[in-house]
Every structure is written in structure tokens, then in C-alpha cells.
Amino acid sequence: MTVMQQPGGMSGGRPQPSGLADVIDTILDKGLVLDAYVRVSLVGIELLTIDARVVIASVDTYLRFAEAVNRLDIGHDKETLPDLVGDMEEGGAKHKTKGALEAAGDKLREFAESQGGQGGERAGAGRRSRKNGDS
Amino acid sequence: MAARTRDRQDPGAGNKAVYVYGILPGDIEIEPGTTGVGDPPGEVRVVRNGDLAALVSDVDTDKPLGRPEDLYAHEELLDSSAADVPILPLRFGAVVSSDEAVTGELLGAHHDEFMAALQQLEGRAEYVVRGRYVEDAILREVLSEDQRTAQLRDQIRGADEEATRELRIQLGEILSDAVTAKREQDTRALGDAVADNVAASVVRPPTHDLDAMNIAFLVETSAADDLEETVAALADDWRDRIELRLIGPLAAYDFVDTANPAPDS
């Protein structure tokens, strides 16, 4: 007989080590599909969720990569002043475009990414606390 | 610990329906006061049919689900359960009309299939390893490995943005392809490194341009410490180029198969 532990508790700040982005990736398109098992008693309910995003390389992707490489150059000694100014202007414009795209297309995920960043996640240490019960 | 299956009161009332989280062995209990999805969140109950059980809570069908709180509640309930018992997670948003639908149409009608699947998960849990490239580091890596990229960058630098659009796209495509190749290579490297620690693996599609890897592993509880050590060592090796995270134990979302998937709607 196993006793399941209550997850977190509402008041004390629930442990969220994996961040909302990870949660979205996991529970929205994985797990058993109820419709495959239940038809008669199935109840449709409105879902606010978005589909987990899959990366498809596009012109936008390419321009983003090119822009990132341009940003790399900033701070290099050899760079002349006009180059620097040019780079920075481009950077600003690109950021704006990117922001608008993300806001329109993927608000929830954007929120998720920002949440994920503050979840105390570390390389190799981002796991949930494990209960060493029955093994 | 003293929880008992409770009969739903007022089964026909209003717009109540039953949200289903997952399917487990019948001999489990849940701590009273555990809450699930909805606003206000419904109390999680155990509905049993012989040696199978389901975790459920009441929901109001007039209210949409999917707030971050709902998503967390769904996953946290399943993951905290999976740390102790085998559990078949349902995809977010599974709602049926009543407890009787859970015991009959769900658990009763698919008893053998669910029992077999639960046996497969006994003593195992899912772990996910996610890696994200450090942008500057990975781009410098590509620039040093592919002469074309450095040339294109020099052509573009300081030039008018519109005039160099095609060159930018060309450069970006080479970079994107190079990162994709690195992702495949590093995904394989991770899979090889942990092969002795895991029972099965599923490579998940990337969800970000800079994803280095996103792999789900089915892991014996007894091997979890070894997996953690292996991943920590890799994280150290890759410190400057990949941010690596190990997430788990989780319910086995990536290792449950729907025998007869419903068509997309």
C-alpha cells in the first residue's frame, strides 16, 4: 500500500522546478488520449491552452541567427565606430520585430520562458526533490 | 492517510463533470485536501474499480481550463504520484460526465490494457534531460568551423540591412543547419552516455532554435542516482556551451501509448 503525497500545497509556494514551458511541452501533447477510451461519456470542455511549439526553420529563424552573429561582433576591438552604431541600430529594430511576433503568436510560452528563468534551475541540478520511499 | 473513496454528492447537479488525471493500481490512497484543476480548485478523489483506480476531481464545465495554475496542478499531481506508484497519465483536459463513466467506460472496459501498462511502469519513472545552447558559444563554434559563415558575416557587416537581406538569410540558414547538426550529434552523445542508466528513451522535437537536446528517459528507480551522476558529469563537460537540466521523476508521459488514437479534431 502506498500513500501519495500531496503536491506542494497551495499556500506555501508550490515547487515548480521545471517551469511552465516544460509543463506545456509535457502535458498538452503527451499522455493517454481520453477520446480513445471513452466516447459515450466524454464531456467537451473549453481549453485555453496553446499547442506545444515545434521549431520549424523559416526565414525568420535565419534572420534571427544572422542577427545573433552580428551581435557577437559588438565589443570586438577591431570594430570601427560606424560599424558599432550600425550594429546597434539593427539590433534594436530586430528586437522590436521579434517582440511583436512573440506577443502575437505565443504569449503563454513567453510567460513560461520568463517563469522558467527564475525557477532556480541549474545545470545538472534541476530535478525535483525525490522521495526515497519504496524502491 | 485515512482517505476513503467518497461518493459524489448530487451526481446530476448543474454543470459538474469529472476531470480525470491518471490511472493507477487500485491499492493507492491520496492525502485528503489534495487539490487539482479549476477555480476554485476541486479536491482530488480516488475512484476505484477492482484493482484499478483513477485520480479525479469535479470541474465546472462552464469554465474553461488551461490557466497556468491548472497546468501545474495537473502535472504536479501526476508527478508526485509517479515518484511512488506507477501511474498512466492522461493528456491535459480529460473530462467525463460522472464517476460511473470512470469506473465503467474507462476503467472497466479497458482493464487488461491498463493493468498491463501499469505493470510495465512498476518501479520506473520518467526523467527528461533538456539542454539549451549558450548562444554566443555555439555561434562562435560554428563560425570557427565553417569558413562560409565568417565570409558572409564580413560582407554583411556595416552594410545596409535591406540590401543584404539575401545574404543574411543565406548566413542564417547555414547557422541554423549547423545548429541542427550539432543538436543531433549532442543528442546522440547524451543518449550514448546514459544508455546504461535507462530502460527506454524518446527524443522529443526541439521547442526552441537553440535547443541542444530534449529527451525523455524511462528509468528504474534504482538507477536514478546513477543517471543523475552521469548527467551532472556531462553538464560539467559541456558547461560553457550547453545549459543542461535533469527534470524528474515525472509520470511516464512519453511512454504511454494510446492503442487507438482519436483523429485530430
The pLDDT value given to residue A2? 34
Residue A25 pLDDT class (50, 70, 90 cuts):
confident
CB contact under 8 A, A128 and B79: yes
For an interface test with B, the pick among A1, A42, A45 (most B C-beta atoms closer than 10 Å) comes out as: A45
As a whole number of angstroms, the distance between CA B96 and CA B58 comes to 10
Same domain as B73, residue B182: no
Clarify whether residues B212 and B102 are in a common domain: no
* A26/B contact by beta carbon, under 8 A: yes
Residues of B in contact with A127 (CB under 8 A): 127, 228, 246-248
Q: Do B69 and B186 share a structural domain?
A: no
Separation in Å, CA A13 to CA A7, A10, A23, B72, B157 = 11, 6, 17, 12, 48
Give the total number of structural domains in chain B: 2
Q: Single out the residue in B122, B155, B187 at which a domain terminates.
A: B122
Q: Read off the CATH number of the domain in which B193 is found.
A: 3.30.70
Residue pLDDT tens, chain B, 265 long: 434 444 444 444 458 999 999 999 999 999 999 999 999 999 999 999 999 999 999 999 999 999 999 999 999 999 999 988 999 999 999 999 999 999 999 999 999 999 999 999 999 999 999 999 999 999 999 999 999 999 999 899 888 888 899 999 999 999 999 999 999 999 999 999 999 999 999 999 998 999 999 999 999 999 999 999 999 999 999 999 999 999 999 999 999 976 644 444 3
* Amino acid identity at B82: A
Q: Is residue B95 situated within a structural domain?
A: yes
Q: Rounded to the nearest 5 degrees, what angle is found at the Cα of B76, between the Cα atoms of B70 and B80?
A: 160
Residue A75 has pLDDT above 70, yes or no: no
A32 touches chain B (CB under 8 A): yes
Contact B169 A66 (CB under 8 A): yes
Question: Is B265 part of any domain?
Answer: no
pLDDT tens digits, B221-257: 999 999 999 999 999 999 999 999 999 999 999 999 7
Characterise B206 by phi-psi region: left (phi > 0), alpha (psi -120 to 50), beta (else). Answer: beta
Cβ–Cβ of B172/A30 closer than 8 Å? no
Residues B139 and B217 in one domain: yes
Q: How confident is the model at residue A22, as a pLDDT? A: 83
Does residue B215 lie in a domain region?
Answer: yes
Please indicate whether residue B92 or residue A19 has the higher confidence score (pLDDT). B92
Q: CA nearest B36: which of A2, A11, A7? A: A7
In which domain, by residue range, is B192 found? 125-255
Percent of chain B, pLDDT > 70?
A: 92
Spatial distance between the Cα atoms of B1 and B101, rounded to a whole number of angstroms = 26
Do B142 and B220 lie in one domain? The reply is yes
Q: Which residues of A touch B130 (CB under 8 A)?
A: 22
Residue B136 counted as domain residue? yes
B65 and B138 housed in the same domain? no
Shared domain check, B137 and B41: no
Q: Is A88 on the interface with B (CB under 8 A)?
A: no
B158–A86: do the CB atoms touch at under 8 Å?
Answer: yes
In-domain check, residue B260: no
Higher-pLDDT residue of B98, A131: B98
Tens digit of each residue's pLDDT (9 = 90 or more) over A54-64: 678 889 999 99
Cα separation, B118 vs B109, whole angstroms: 16
Which of B71, B101, B122 is the last residue in one of the domains?
B122
Single residue among B122, B137, B154 that ends a domain in this structure: B122
Which residues in chain B have Cβ-Cβ distances shorter than 8 Å to A93? 161
Instruction: Indicate if B137 and B189 belong to the same structural domain.
Output: yes
Alpha-carbon distance B187 to nearest alpha carbon in chain A (angstroms): 16
Domain check: are B239 and B137 in the same one? yes
**Any CB–CB contact under 8 A between A48 and chain B?**
yes
Same domain, B39 and B137: no
Do B64 and A90 make contact, defined as CB atoms within 8 angstroms? no
C-alpha cell at B75: 502535472
Enter the pTM of the model: 0.75
Query: Of all helices (H) and strands (E), which one includes residue B95?
Result: strand B95-96
User: Is B4 a domain residue?
Assistant: no
